[in-house]
Amino acid sequence: MKTTTSVLQRCLCLFTLTIPVLSATYSLSDNVVGSGFNSFFSYQAISDPTHGRVNYVDKGTAQSKNLTYASGNTFILRADHTTTLSASGPGRDSVRLQSNKQYSTHVAVFDMRHMPQGCGTWPAVWEVGNNWPNQGEVDIVEGVNDQSPDQVTLHTSSGCTMPSSRSMTGSSTGTNCDTAATNNAGCGVKVNGANSYGPAFNSNGGGWYAVERTNSAIKVWFWPRNSGSVPSDVRNGGNSVNTGNWGTPSALFPSTSCDISSHFGPHNIIINLTFCGDWAGSVYSSSGCPGSCVDYVNNNPSAFNNAYFDFAAIRVYT
142 is known as an active-site residue? yes
Q: What is the DSSP annotation of 36-89?
A: GHHHHEEE-----TT--SEEE--HHHHHHTTSEEEETTEEEEE---SPPPPTTS
Buried b / exposed e along 10-33 (16+ C-beta atoms within 10 A): eeeeeeeeeeeeeebbbebebebb
Measured between alpha carbons, how far is 90 from 87 in angstroms, rounded to an integer? 8
pLDDT bracket for residue 11 (50, 70, 90): very low
Q: What are 91-150's pLDDT values in tens digits?
A: 999 999 999 999 999 999 999 999 999 999 999 999 999 999 999 999 999 999 999 999
Predicted confidence (pLDDT) at residue 12 exceeds the cutoff of 90:
no
Task: Give the pLDDT band (50/70/90) at residue 14.
Answer: very low
pTM of the model: 0.92
Catalytic residue among 24, 36, 102, 142: 142
| Candidates 111, 137, 146, 212; catalytic one | 137
- pLDDT (0 to 100) of residue 24: 87
Complete domains list, the chain, with CATH: 28-317 (2.60.120.200)
**pLDDT-derived band at 16, boundaries 50, 70, 90:** very low
3-state SS class at 10: helix
- Contact indicator for 81, 304 with CB cutoff of 8 Å: yes
Kindly list the strands in the beta sheet with 151-155, ordered across the sheet, starting from the edge strand earlier in the chain: 41-43, 96-99, 268-275, 121-128, 137-142, 151-155, 187-190, 171-172
Catalytic: 137?
A: yes
Please state, rounded to an integer, the average pLDDT across all residues of the chain: 94
The phi and psi torsions of 129 (rounded to 5 degrees) equal -90, 170
